[in-house]
Amino acid sequence: MVIGMEMTPPRKMLYPPEKIYMEWRQKRRPGAGLYNLGSTCYLNVILQCLTYTAPLANYLLSRQHSRFCRRQGFCMMCIMEAHVRKVLYSSATAIRPRAVIRDLKFIGEFKPDIPGDAYEFLRCTVNAMQRACLSGSSDSDVSSRETTIIHQIFGGFLRSRVTCLSCKTVSDFFRAFRDVLLKIKGASSLTTALEDFVAPKQTDGRKCFKCRKCKKKVAVSKVVTIHQAPRILTVCLGRADDRTSRKLSQVVEYPECLDLRPYMSDPNGEPLLYSLYAVVVHTGHTCLEGHFLCYTKASDGQWYKMNDVSVDSCGIHTVLGQQAYLLFYARRSNSQREETASSSFHSFLSQRQPSSQAGPARAQALPGRMRVTRSRRNSVRERERQRERDRSRSPRWGNERHRYFMNTTSYNSSAGRRRKRMSPPDHDNTHRDATAPGPSNRSFQPAPAHRAAWEQPLPREQSRAEQSKPSQQGCNLCRQLVKLSDYHHSESKRRKLSSGAYKQKSQAHN
């Protein structure tokens, strides 16, 4: 016998599922990188992964939220909309996520100068976007709250089937989820970790569940499966040991194409295929220190390694060989499958128990987090500074720096002509953070008005013939000097003559 809880379908659909586009509506080259403003590498990787989440980016680029948003003050959807447009439309090589840094306290318990965990920031950011979509709809029922654009992109439903070991009564419980945390201790691949996730688990004689038929607490067997699959599947490979808090650096293989059907409540249906589009990697020997970087698949279909300000192309073999921490999979688009999923969504809501895990995610509830403690803050900062210094010594950057100084201070020895002062290709200009519609060509832009004073070209210098020709003013000055010299010469001669005549008269008189 199966016992379940019934629930009325949603009274209002906050966002129609047929307007969610899984494929990119506009294809362009990758956008800008992100500056590390202190210890914000964990923040940069999540912002980049969300920026290249196709259904979310399509919605944000259309400005559907900001045109009708009436929320006063902090709104995570408006911030993400501005950030995504800034990254994808800016022609700068890197920008500063100032708006996100400014409102960190509203997103979660984060500070710019304290390192954080990427998984923790992801959960808090998605929850903040969900709350922004519910603004003005606080009086809606629970089922309606799970029809927002955010929940329909990242959200799904898990089914927990509990079997009483005494009377064999089966009870089903459903709850919403927006990410899956997997234990990888002893697992060699993602499929192995998923099989362990859906495997039956017994309470080993502990009476912690109250059976409705037995009317007392009994030992049970529990099986958790994915009942409603999300459009975007986010998986966290918990690399922090629950007992020792040490980092599990073992190799966990993950495929580019994942079939989620074997882990569903109905494993006998058609294959449910997902494609990998983003990977977050944590480097470091322990969970208390290290650095976050990510690999994302842009709208042009190419993979790129994004390490703060640097954005470099790479291959799929490089992506699949990483020590992954977060995996982002997108469900493959199929018009018939999408219609079937949207129609079954309403019928499913009328049969499940009203249980949801929406709400802010606190740090204490995340066993897989890799947050750095305050005692190691200085060492982490010093490593980041050393990493920036090492990066600045690379041959490529050195050549650009050499060309920059040569263009700035070189002179033409023959004509004595100074070249125009230029900025290096990787030079940061504050004005380049401004968003300008159009494709990203990642090229240097002209200087702003406040810097035009020292970047103006020098006046056109005269030719060699003009330089050899004396000016009219110089000729007049020379004539005056010649007249003055002649006057002094004649005056001196007159004095000598007069002096000689005076001596002759004196001698004659004597």
> Which are the catalytic amino acids?
41, 291
Residues 6+ apart with CB under 8 A from 133: 14, 15, 65, 77, 148, 149, 150
Structure token digits, residue 52:
């290249």
Structure token digits, residue 450:
């406040």
Structure token digits, residue 253:
């293989």
Burial level of 128, CB count in 10 A (0-12/13-18/19+)? Answer: buried
Contact 371, 115 (CB under 8 A): yes
- AA letter at 83: H
Number of CB atoms found within 10 A of residue 441's CB: 9
Burial level of 320, CB count in 10 A (0-12/13-18/19+)? Answer: middle
Contact 363, 107 (CB under 8 A): no
Place of tokens 């979660």: 108
Contact 370, 249 (CB under 8 A): no
Rounding to the nearest 10 degrees, give the CA dihedral for residues 58, 59, 61, 66.
180
End-to-end CA distance of the chain, in Å?
162
Beta bridge partners of 211: 216
Distance between CA atoms of 49 and 101, rounded to whole angstroms?
17
Identify which of 40, 143, 26 has the alpha carbon closest to the alpha carbon of residue 85.
26
Beta bridge partners of 297: 303
Contact 37, 348 (CB under 8 A): no
Distance between CA atoms of 381 and 198, rounded to whole angstroms?
41
Beta bridge partners of 347: none
Helices and strands in the chain: count of H runs, count of E runs: 16, 19
Q: At what angle do helices 41-51 and 76-89 cross, to 10 degrees?
A: 80
